[in-house]
Amino acid sequence: MLICPRCGSNKVESRGGCFFFVAGFCLMGISIWLLIIPPVGIAGIILGLALMVVSPFAKNQLQCMDCKKTWKYQKEKEKAGA
């Protein structure tokens, strides 16, 4: 069971690379429709592309559902060595 280091809650979810890729893809899709307001649409497309590019590096991310803190999960071997 995982516990949030900030608030101590046990409502923790994993956020992997697929989550960020899908979020970026959806943001790009919505932003294409928002091109009727060019600055908003272009900013959304750029942010969506950034999320898609960063997604392979976003492994082992955890997020607390209560306080919204996000941190990187460390395996037991890494904790013992530190």
* Amino acid, single-letter form, for residue 4: C
Domain boundaries of the chain, sorted by first residue: 13-73
Q: Identify which of 68, 60, 32, 67 has the alpha carbon closest to the alpha carbon of residue 47.
A: 32
Tell me how long the chain is.
82
The pLDDT value given to residue 27: 94
Q: Could you tell me if 16 and 57 are in contact, meaning their C-beta atoms sit under 8 angstroms apart?
A: no
Q: Indicate the pTM of the whole model.
A: 0.61
* Amino acid, single-letter form, for residue 66: D
Q: What is the pLDDT of residues 32-65, one digit of tens each?
A: 999 999 999 999 999 999 999 988 887 778 888 8
